[in-house]
Amino acid sequence: MPAKSDGKYIFSYLEVHSENEGSLPYGLTFKDSLDDLEKKLGKNIKDNKVALPEKRTITFFHDSLLIIVFMNVKDEIFIIKFMTPTIYNEKNLGVKI
């Protein structure tokens, strides 16, 4: 995975909750629809809508990061998680790290 900046590796993930009022990477907002997300991040690589009845998680692979979006039953975003992919993700999601 290409380095995002100079220096040492300092995090494996960043989790942002909907109460956050600051700006988010890639122009994301908590008001985004699934169509908005796909325009900004590309096609999702996994959608757990059926597996989780109370919530939906949608996973994107964008800019060498996994971006996992947590939505409620109304498809409103309440968490966005930015993750460095692992060997597990490479094997199970087919992403290249």
* Tens of pLDDT, residues 8-35: 767 789 999 999 999 999 999 999 999 9
Extract the tokens encoding 8: 């040492």
Domain that holds residue 26: 13-93
Domain for residue 76, yes or no? Answer: yes
Extract the tokens encoding 16: 């942002």
Overall number of domains in the chain: 1
Domain for residue 4, yes or no? Answer: no
11 and 25 Cβ atoms separated by less than 8 Å: no
The alpha carbon dihedral of 28, 30, 32, 37 has a sign of positive
Domain for residue 7, yes or no? Answer: no
Q: What are phi and psi of 35, to 5 degrees?
A: -60, -45
What predicted TM-score, i.e. pTM, was given to this entire model?
Answer: 0.86
Domain for residue 79, yes or no? Answer: yes
Task: Kindly report the average pLDDT of the chain as a whole number.
Answer: 89
